[in-house]
Structure 1
Amino acid sequence: MENQTQIFGIRAIIEAINSGKTIDKVFLQKGLKGDLFSELESLVNKSSLNRSYVPIEKLNKLTKGNHQGAVAQISPIAFYNLEELVIQVTESGKTPLFLLLDQLSDVRNFGAIIRTAECTGVDGIIIQKKGAAPINGDTIKTSAGAVFKVPICKVDHIKDAVFYMQASGIKVIAATEKTNDSLFDISFTEPSAIIMGSEGRGINPSILKVVDAKAKLPLLGDIESLNVSVACGAFLYEAVRQRR
């Protein structure tokens, strides 16, 4: 069965994946066995879809139908191809500004970031297929509809996107407290891509090793960190300020 944002039932999800539907996340029941369920698991793995193993109570909350141990969320948007988007932006004559999100998991933070990205002229947002927040009703609402206006790409690994940006002449800047360099000492006047990390872990250390620059925000109070969507807004508006 299917509604606007969800599919449930093992065979229905298999058919949806095979038909090319844009699946945002698949929830699978913990400990479930069976040939058809194993077929779905293999297809999810082969398609590199974002998945979570959850107790049956979680699935029961997601849908009142006969889910058979599997529920999939359909993305309300079509995702862009990263290479095509970068080429399109660089050939347009403008100075590119991209945003990479390293496994940001909170849908409201994601929505708020998309809204700010639209307001600051970001050319595209890149997220990872696994571990990223889904694009659901909460994301759409928090973004105030901006999710339909900003191109969003999904990649297997954020590090691959970093390397592609660098090969395309785009400087990659990590927003991290693990540096002595201030945000206000970094130039955003050239083609740039900003990386924001997840709410708890921040940016993956392996990604920090390959970026072109790192920058942090000055924190003058006792709290040691900002909400990621607030920090992202500060970075994006510094880029806007420098480019005006």
Structure 2
Amino acid sequence: MKDETLVFGIRAVMEAIISGKTIDKLFIQKGLHGELSKELWKQIKENGISFSYVPIEKLNRLTRKNHQGVVAFISPIEFHNLENLVLDVIESGETPLFLILDQLSDVRNFGAIIRTAECTGVHGIIIQKKGGAPVSADTIKTSAGAIFNIPICKVDHIKDAIFYLQGSGITVIAATEKAKGTIYDLNLTNPTAIIMGSEGKGISNSVLKLVDEQAKLPMHGEIASLNVSVACGVFLYETIRQRL
């Protein structure tokens, strides 16, 4: 990640939070204490910022400068509000097409998916605040800058996003090898949100229980699955084919 997205030191991180910057990752040394750190904890709590306790060795690897036990990564983009975005798309008269990424972890896959999503007219990408790949310099590079042209929404829980989309008349479809039917059995001409899972585990079972439909890609080789960014591209271009 580029240096300009890294902020270190208690006061510097507090200023970033107070000024409304989007904190992508926040690492705090185990056992951090002191008067200034109390102010930091207050800001973290008031703004609902997620953080991870880490040993000092990890912080030292991130920066050799005096980090005071706190290192944060500032997101290079501003995230969108899901509810506002969905309403805007519906009011525009276009047929909604959203992409949900369930715990995708590889930043290059994330960037490749963003690039394809932008090329296929996806109205917004939905990710969870915790557990997924960050918006890093590698993400931006792999997206070929497409990340600046497509809205990305961060939500507390994927499940809540699914409920909201369904309540807005949008069919939620899981791309999963566990499905009985294939992508070619689907009608993708209606308002649609497609869920792609993580590289290792796929879509979590708790999320699969909530979706409207499931579909897989037909596979004829010895390898049982495709790279997630490739699979995502197939789903999105089949959607385009049906909508043309």
Matched, 1:58 2:87: no
1:215 to 1:46, Cα distance in 2 relative to 1, 3 A: farther
1:50 to 1:177, Cα distance in 2 relative to 1, 3 A: farther
Superposition CA RMSD, Å: 1.6
- Partner in structure 2 of residue 226 of structure 1: 226
Q: CA deviation at 1:44?
A: 3.5
Matched, 1:33 2:47: no
- Partner in structure 1 of residue 197 of structure 2: 197
Q: CA deviation at 1:16?
A: 1.6
TM-score (norm 1): 0.93
**8 A Cα contact 2:17 2:23, kept in partner:** yes
Q: Distance in 1 between matches of 2:178 and 2:45?
A: 34
- Partner in structure 1 of residue 93 of structure 2: 93
Deviation string, structure 1 residues 195-244 (Cα, Å, up to 9, x no partner): 11111221121111111000111121111211111111111111011111
Q: CA deviation at 1:102?
A: 0.9
Q: AA paired with 1:64?
A: R
- Partner in structure 1 of residue 187 of structure 2: 187
Deviation string, structure 1 residues 10-57 (Cα, Å, up to 9, x no partner): 22212321221111111223x333144465456445534343333333
- Partner in structure 2 of residue 166 of structure 1: 166
Q: CA deviation at 1:85?
A: 0.5
1:128 to 1:42, Cα distance in 2 relative to 1, 3 A: farther
List runs of 5+ in structure 1 lacking aligned partners.
none
Deviation string, structure 1 residues 54-111 (Cα, Å, up to 9, x no partner): 3333222322321112111111111111111000001111111000111111111110
Aligned length: 241
**SS of corresponding position for 1:95:** coil
Q: AA paired with 1:33?
A: L
Q: Distance in 2 between matches of 1:231 and 1:94?
A: 24
Q: AA paired with 1:185?
A: D
Matched, 1:177 2:182: no
- Partner in structure 2 of residue 152 of structure 1: 152
**8 A Cα contact 1:189 1:242, kept in partner:** yes
- Partner in structure 1 of residue 12 of structure 2: 12
**SS of corresponding position for 2:93:** coil
Q: Distance in 2 between matches of 1:38 and 1:233?
A: 47
Q: Distance in 1 between matches of 2:50 and 2:202?
A: 19
**SS of corresponding position for 1:139:** helix
Q: Distance in 2 between matches of 1:194 and 1:242?
A: 15
- Partner in structure 1 of residue 82 of structure 2: 82
**SS of corresponding position for 2:77:** coil
Percent identity between the two aligned chains: 68
TM-score (norm 2): 0.93
Q: Distance in 1 between matches of 2:41 and 2:212?
A: 38
Deviation string, structure 1 residues 160-193 (Cα, Å, up to 9, x no partner): 1100100110000001111101111111100000
**SS of corresponding position for 1:134:** coil
1:179 to 1:104, Cα distance in 2 relative to 1, 3 A: same
List runs of 5+ in structure 2 lacking aligned partners.
none
Segments ≥4 residues shifted beyond 6 Å: none
Q: Distance in 1 between matches of 2:240 and 2:163?
A: 24
